[in-house]
Amino acid sequence: MARMTMIEAIRDAMDVCMGLDENVVVFGEDVGYFGGVFRCTHGLQQKYGRSRCFDTPISELGIVGVAVGMAAYGLRPCVEMQFADYVYPAYDQIVSEVARIRYRSAGQFTCPIVIRMPTGGGIFGGQTHSQSPEALFTHVAGLKVVVPSNPQDAKGLLIASIEDPDPVIFLEPKRLYNGPFDGHHDRPVTPWSKHESGEVEAGRTVTPLGKAVVRRAGSAVTVLAYGTMVHVALAAAEDAGIDAEVIDLRTLVPLDLDAIVASVRKTGRCVVVHEATLTSGFGAELAALVQEHCFHSLEAPIARVTGWDTPYPHAQEWDYFPGPARVGRALIETMEA
Q: What angle do CA 205, 256, 92 make, to 5 degrees?
A: 85
End-to-end CA distance of the chain: 45
Number of C-beta neighbours around residue 139 at 10 A: 14
**d(Cα 222, Cα 124) in Å, to the nearest integer?**
31
* Alpha carbons 328 and 313: distance in angstroms, whole number: 22
Alpha helices, H only, 94-225: 101-104, 134-138, 151-163
Q: Is the peptide bond before 191 cis (omega within 30 degrees of 0)?
A: no
Largest interatomic CA distance in the chain: 60
CB neighbour class for 115 (10 Å; exposed up to 12, middle 13-18, buried from 19): buried
23/124 Cα distance (integer angstroms): 37
DSSP class of residue 323? Answer: -
| Beta-sheet strands, E only, within 42-146 | 53-55, 76-80, 114-119, 144-146
C-beta separation of 175 from 125 below 8 A: no
Residue 280, strand partner residues: none
The identity of residue 112, as a single letter, is P
- Catalytically active residues, by annotation: 129
Residue type for 141, please? A
